Chain A
Amino acid sequence: MKVEIVNLKKHFGATRAVDDVSFAFSSGQVVGFVGPNGAGKTTTMRILATLDEPTVGDALIDGVSVVEEPERARQLVGYVPDSLPTHRDMSVHEYLDFFARAYGLKGGRREKVIESVEEFTGLVVIRDKMLVALSKGMKQRVSLARALLHDPPVLIMDEPAAGLDPRARIELRELLRVLSSQGKAILISSHILTELAEICHAAVIIERGSVLMAGAIGDLLASGAPHRTVLIRVTSERERLYRELLETPRVEKASLAGEEIAVEINGDEEACCDLLAALISRGHRVVEFKQQRANLEEIFMNVTKGAVQ
Chain B
Amino acid sequence: MNFASRSVFTSDAINPIVIKELRQAVQSRFVIAALLTLLTIQIVAIGIYILASGGSLFGFDAGRQAFLMLFAILQVIGMLFVPLYTAVRLAAERSDTNVDLLFITTIKPRSIIAGKMFAALTLTALIYSACMPFMAFTYFLRGIDLPSIFISLGVGFVVVVACAQAAVFVALIPVNRAFKVIFGLIALIIFGIAYFATMAGVSGVVTRGVVGRDFWQGIIIIGLVICFLVGLFFVMSVALIMPAASNRALAVRLFITAAWLLMGVAALTNGSIEKDHSPVIVWLVMFEIIFALAIFAAVSERDQPGRRVLRSIPQSRPGRAQAFFFFSGAANGLTWASVMIALTLAVVWVWGKLFPIHGNVGDLFNSAKWMGGMCLYFFCYAMTGALLRRRLFSRVKTEATWLIGVILLAVGSVAPFLIGYIVFFNDQWWKEDFDAWWVGNPFAWGNKGHRVLYASVAGLWAALVAAMSLPWFIERVKSFRPATRVVESDAFEIR
Q: Nearest Cβ in chain B — how far from A129, in angstroms?
A: 13
A253 in the interface (beta carbon within 8 A): no
- Contact mask A62-91 → B, CB, 8 Å, 1/0? 000101101100110101010101111110
Decide if A74 touches B12 in the complex (CB within 8 Å): no
Q: Is the CB of B102 within 8 A of A102?
A: yes
Q: A49 is contacted by which of B25, B27, B104, B490 (Cβ under 8 Å)?
A: B104
**Shortest Cβ distance from A95 into B: residue:** B20
Q: Is A118 an interface residue (CB 8 A)?
A: no
B478 lies within 8 A of chain A by Cβ: no
Residue among B97, B103, B488 facing the most chain A CB atoms (10 A cut-off)? B103
Chain B proximity of A14: nearest CB distance (Å): 7
CB contact under 8 A between A68 and B104, given known A14-B395, A83-B97, A88-B28: no
B105 part of interface (Cβ distance < 8 Å): yes
Residues A53 and B101 in contact in the complex (CB < 8 Å), given A6-B487, A107-B8 = no
Residues of A within 8 A of B99 (CB): 51, 81, 83
Interface: B244 (CB within 8 A)? yes
B227 within 8 Å of A (CB atoms):
no
Partner-binding segment picked from A19-27, A163-171, A257-265, A293-301 = A19-27
Contact of A6 among B103, B105, B397, B489 (CB under 8 A): B489
Task: Collect the chain B residues with CB atoms within 8 Å of residue A101's CB.
Answer: 12, 16, 19
Say whether A74 contacts B106, CB under 8 Å: yes
Other-chain contact of A106, B12, B24, B397, B489 (Cβ < 8 Å): B12
* Main DSSP-derived SS at the A contact region: mixed
Q: B495: CB under 8 A from chain A?
A: yes
B27 surroundings in chain A (CB, below 8 A): 89-90
Task: State the CA gap A85–B20 with chains docked (Å).
Answer: 14
| Chain B interface, number of residues (Cβ within 8 angstroms) | 42
> What is the minimal beta-carbon distance from A121 to any residue of chain B, in angstroms?
16
Which of B106, B245, B306 interacts with A102 by CB under 8 Å? B106
Q: For the complex formed, measure the closest distance between the CB of A309 and the CB atoms of chain B, giving whole angstroms.
A: 15
> Is A74 within 8 A of B493, CB to CB?
no
Q: Does A108 contact B (CB under 8 A)?
A: yes
Q: Known contacts A51-B103, A71-B106, A88-B28; is A26 also within 8 Å of B23 by CB?
A: no
Q: How far is the CB of B406 from chain A (nearest CB, A)?
A: 21
Chain B interface mostly: loop
Query: Which residues of chain B (284-308) have a CB below 8 Å from chain A?
Result: 306-308
Chain B residue nearest in CB terms to A79: B104
The reply to whether A90 and B12 form a contact with Cβ atoms under 8 Å apart is no
Q: Which residues of chain B (3-34) have a CB below 8 Å from chain A?
A: 8-9, 12, 16-17, 19-20, 23-25, 27-28
A26 touches B493 (CB 8 A): yes
- Within the complex, the shortest CB–CB distance from B225 to chain A, in Å, comes to 34
CB-contact partner of A86 in B98, B102, B397, B491, under 8 A: B98
Closest CB-CB distance, B297 to chain A, in whole Å? 20
Within 8 A of A (CB), among B137-187: none
- Tell me the complex Cα distance, A97–B114, Å: 19
Partner of B485, one of A2, A68, A202: A68
A residues within 8 A CB of B429? none
Chain A positions within 8 Å of B9 at CB level: 107
A65-B103 contact, Cβ under 8 Å, with A22-B491, A216-B495: no
Q: Considering the complex, give the chain B residue whose CB is closest to the CB of A90.
A: B24
Q: Does B107 contact A (CB under 8 A)?
A: yes
A207 at the interface (CB under 8 A from B): no
Contact B493 A24, beta carbon cutoff 8 Å: yes
Min CB gap A305→B, angstroms: 22
B494 within 8 A of A: yes
Whether, in the assembled complex, B243 has its beta carbon less than 8 Å from a beta carbon of chain A, the answer is yes
What residues of chain B lie closer than 8 Å to A104, measured between beta carbons? 106-107
Given A50-B104, A77-B104, A87-B24; A68-B311 close (CB under 8 Å): yes
Q: Which of A86, A90, A106, A214 touches B492 (beta carbons < 8 Å)?
A: A214
Q: Is the CB of B23 within 8 A of A60?
A: no
Residue on B with the closest CB to A85? B101
| A29 contacts the other chain (CB 8 A) | yes
Q: A13-B395, A53-B243, A83-B99 are in contact. Are A24 and B489 (CB under 8 A)?
A: yes
* Alpha-carbon distance A106/B489, docked complex (angstroms): 36
A120 at the interface (CB under 8 A from B): no
Residues of B within 8 Å of A29, CB to CB, are 494
Closest Cβ neighbor of B306 among chain A residues: A53
Residues in B neighbouring A146, C-beta threshold 8 A: 101
A157 within 8 A of B: no
Residues of A within 8 A of B395 (CB): 13-14
In the complex, what distance in Å separates the CA atom of A74 from the CA atom of B103? 9
- 17 inter-chain pairs at a CB distance below 8 angstroms, sorted by A residue, are A5-B491, A22-B490, A22-B491, A51-B103, A51-B104, A53-B306, A60-B487, A67-B307, A71-B108, A79-B104, A81-B101, A87-B24, A89-B24, A94-B20, A98-B16, A102-B102, A204-B494
Q: Which residues of A contact B (CB under 8 A)?
A: 2, 4-6, 13-14, 22-26, 29, 31, 49-51, 53, 58, 60, 65, 67-68, 70-71, 74-75, 77, 79, 81, 83, 85-90, 94, 97-99, 101-104, 106-108, 146, 150, 201-202, 204, 214-216
- Given A26-B493, A102-B107, 4 new contacts (CB under 8 A): A53-B244, A67-B307, A68-B245, A102-B17
Q: Which 8 A-B pairs have the closest CB atoms?
A: A101-B16, A102-B105, A89-B27, A22-B491, A202-B494, A24-B491, A24-B493, A89-B24
Q: Which residues of B contact A (CB under 8 A)?
A: 8-9, 12, 16-17, 19-20, 23-25, 27-28, 97-99, 101-108, 243-245, 306-308, 311, 395, 397, 485, 487-495
